[in-house]
Amino acid sequence: MALLEVRNLKKHFPLKTGILSRTIGHVRAVDGVSFTLERGETLGLVGESGCGKTTVGRSILRLIEPTSGQVIFNDQNLLALDRAQMRQARASLQIIFQDPFSSLDPRMSVGQIIAEPIRNYLKVSRREIGHRVAYLIDKVGLHPEQMSRYPHEFSGGQRQRIGIARALALNPMAIICDEPVSALDVSIQAQVINLLIQLQEEMNLSYLFIAHDLSVVEHISDRVAVMYLGRIVELATDRELYQNPQHPYTQALLSAVPLPDPGIRKQRILLEGDVPSPLNPPSGCAFHTRCAERDEVCAHQEPTFRDLGDDHWVACHLR
Amino acid sequence: MSGEIKPLLAIRGLHTQFHTFEGIVKAVDGVDMEVFPGETLGLVGESGCGKSVTALSILQLLRCPPAEIQGRILFEGINLLDLGRERIRKIRGNSISMIFQEPMTSLNPVLTIGEQIAEAIFLHQRTSKHEAWERAIEMLHTVQIPEPRARARDYPHKLSGGMRQRAMIAMALSCHPQLLLADEPSTALDVTIQAQIMDLMQRLKEEFETSIVLITHNLGLIAEMAKRVVVMYAGKVAEEAPVEDLFKEPLHPYTQGLLGSIPWIGRKLKTGRRQLQEIPGIVPSPLEMPQGCRFHPRCPRVMGVCREQEPAVVRLADHRLVSCWLKAE
């Protein structure tokens, strides 16, 4: 039994206009996403801006209320829980945000930020909270004397460490990492990636790792899902996905990544145009407007998400 | 680079500092570099290393004060820092132009795309307004914007990020500059759009024989686009080398650390390691630069001398330069 199972998750944002707020359409940010996350595993969720990857992460935690679907976490359907139950469930399912500048309260000290979830959820003495905070601060590589400082006194990488400590405060089983390193410089990015890997090994954490950087995702993930316009188009183990991509979009995406090796001259698949609007996604396969291999069927019929064997899933008529 | 070819741009002893309430920030602190005709020079470094300020100093796009630019910036032998405001304006957008990271903030929101491109042509090339407009449309066509005649009448907010960056490139190249300063031109874009923009820049460079200074923190882009690379750290040049040599055998411990810390596709499989190499610590604050070599607090091979004295830039064989005590004679 997977730790987290997402079934046919949808989030359609109504688009309203005028003083009467009439709904004139829906932005289909997430349009039928299914995947599982095993215990101790990292599932990478990649895609370009606007593909809905962040909305998936937030819908799972119900920070955004999904339109339909099921989210089974630890044998509980999160979407069926009431507020109080959901609050309890969030203790084991945490999130780290992209921007370490806006995700920490500037008026709370680091110690208070990390202690807050403990105070909110556990009935423990002040002393115990102090011990726990000191332990967490050490765990993420900060110094105990930094506990009374405020977020603005820290660099981006250190702030991300504070966010990680806060997420770890309640000993969660899984963490949704929403672009946790994309705002950081490369040398700092490596420090935070290493920290996440090390914490996972020590605490058997599961990560849903949401990012747009394909190299980072490949590095940290065990399996990778590629999203395009609100849907997963391909899902496989990282090795399989990067060595043997099947979906034309995945192939184009991977060929576009510049490699730090001047000797390699890659054959690049250049996609034409931009990602279409999720307000009015193309019929059939959403990628067909930009696909070099498109066939007649692609414009009319939506491809099913099929297993090609070895747990390599792809949504394409031609495979 | 061979000695016979004259550099198009030569920066000599550039110091750019900002006078702030907290003190003097030396953003660029004694930088030398050359750009040769027709080449792409990669300028890499992390935030705050001075790479953007170097580019802004070339075109004097910094408000002085608080900024103060010293040194020499020789463009075709003429020191740009000696020129008055009027003369530097004739160079900006004409023989040297620049594209920025965020095309939304660098385009004027109240003018149409076509008007903005035509303005540069009209001002620099002494054409009629009608001819400038026609050439603007031609440029939009060159950068592969579909329906250029209709798009020219659009305001920047109507275009996507990739299209805006194309419009920026069209504007920058509209007067066929000899030098293009591209400051993180694709950082705000998705990878597939980035690939389109890089492909476009490469083609236009060949077509117009423009020299490019590509400023980025993305080592993959550098490997793909640049011929020579300058690595900056904390306002100084740490290393300079032809691109193959830099990636094959980086000499400065900072460059080695940078290359070790980036995840690249296939790395995990090849090395069998999940942990990346780290550069410990953070970039120093520009207000409190460390004594001696600026990289010494983070350097894994630090020696006594590194803490006390700044290393000089040493010129090695094969057009390589490095500023490190390990390589000093």
For chain A, what is the total number of helices (H) and then of strands (E)? 10, 12
Q: Do residue A268 and residue B199 have CB atoms under 8 angstroms apart?
A: yes
Place of tokens 């914490």: A199
Question: How many other β-carbons are positioned within 10 Å of the β-carbon of residue A301?
Answer: 12
Tokens 């741009």 correspond to what residue? B9
Name the token pair of A34.
Answer: 């299914």
The Cα of A292 is separated from the nearest Cα of chain B by a number of Å equal to 14
How far is residue A179's CA from residue A196's CA, in Å, rounded to a whole number? 13
The tokens for B6 are: 């004259």
- pLDDT tens readout for residues A78-96: 999 999 999 999 999 999 9
Chain A residues with CB inside 8 Å of B266's CB? 218, 242
Task: Output the tens digit of pLDDT for each of chain B's 329 residues.
Answer: 445 688 999 999 999 999 888 888 888 999 999 999 989 999 999 888 888 899 999 998 888 888 889 999 999 989 998 888 888 888 888 899 998 887 778 888 999 999 999 988 988 888 898 999 999 998 888 888 888 898 899 998 888 877 888 888 888 888 888 999 999 888 877 888 888 888 888 888 888 889 999 999 899 999 999 999 999 999 999 999 999 999 999 999 999 999 999 888 888 878 877 888 888 888 888 888 888 999 999 999 999 999 999 998 888 888 899 999 998 76
Alpha carbon distance B209, B186 (integer Å)? 21
Residue of A nearest to B247 (CA): A261
Spatial neighbors of A297 by CB under 8 A, at least 6 apart, are A284, A317
Q: Which amino acid is at B111?
A: L
Backbone φ and ψ for B133, nearest 5 degrees, come out as -65, -45
B261–A254: do the CB atoms touch at under 8 Å?
Answer: no
**How many angstroms away from the CA of A218 is the closest CA of chain B?**
6
Contacts of A209 in chain B (CB under 8 A): none
How many angstroms separate the CA atoms of A291 and A271, rounded?
A: 7
**Shortest alpha-carbon distance between residue B58 and chain A (Å):** 25
DSSP B165-184: HHHHHHHHHTT--SEEEEES
| Closest residue in chain B to residue A290, using alpha carbons only | B192
Can you tell me the ipTM of this complex? 0.82
Do A185 and B190 count as a contact with CB atoms less than 8 A apart?
Answer: no
Residues of chain A positioned with their CB less than 8 A from the CB of B264: 215, 259-261
Contact check, Cβ <8 Å, A268/B247: no
User: Using CB atoms, which residue from B160, B192, B217 is nearest to A186?
Assistant: B217
Pick the residue from chain B with its C-alpha nearest to A183.
B47
pLDDT tens-digit map of A299-316: 999 999 999 988 899 999
Q: Which of A238, A253, A260 sits opposite B192 (nearest CB)?
A: A253
Burial of residue B302, with CB atoms counted within 10 A of its CB: 0-12 exposed, 13-18 middle, 19 or more buried: middle
CB contacts, 8 Å: B278 with chain A: 187, 190-191, 194
